Amino acid sequence: NYEQKIQSAFKDVSDTLALRDSLSQQLESQQRYLDSLQITLQRARGLYASGAVSYIEVLDAERSLFATQQTILDLTYSRQVNEINLFTALGGGWVE
């Protein structure tokens, strides 16, 4: 039915736009977290250099930083896939 296809298309676009907003918010949040982790790592390195903490503290800060960087990469990939899905939902197609 034509009307059902139109409603389905609008729902696809709406869902894709909602996911786009969610992914953008998650990316912003993770980027702020990454910024704070970079400061934490710098402080851990400084404390280690002064002998105040063990190297485990530096490694733990690095691990957290790397995990957050991976999360940002995963979210960026998801956002790019979502942009392709939005393009398709809006009627875009591939030209070969």
Q: What is the pLDDT of residues 31-88, one digit of tens each?
A: 999 999 999 999 999 999 999 999 999 999 999 999 999 999 999 999 999 999 999 8
- CA geometry: angle at 17 spanning 68 and 69, to 5°? 10
Q: How confident is the model at residue 94 (pLDDT cuts 50, 70, 90)?
A: low
pLDDT at residue 95 is higher than 80? no
CB burial of 55-87 (b: ≥16 within 10 Å; e: otherwise) equals: eebbeebeebbeebeebbeebeebbeebeebbe
Rounded mean pLDDT of 4-21?
94
pLDDT at 32: 99
Predicted local confidence at residue 1, as pLDDT: 86
The structural domains of the chain, with segments of one domain joined by +, span 2-84
CA distance linking residue 48 with residue 20, whole number of Å = 41
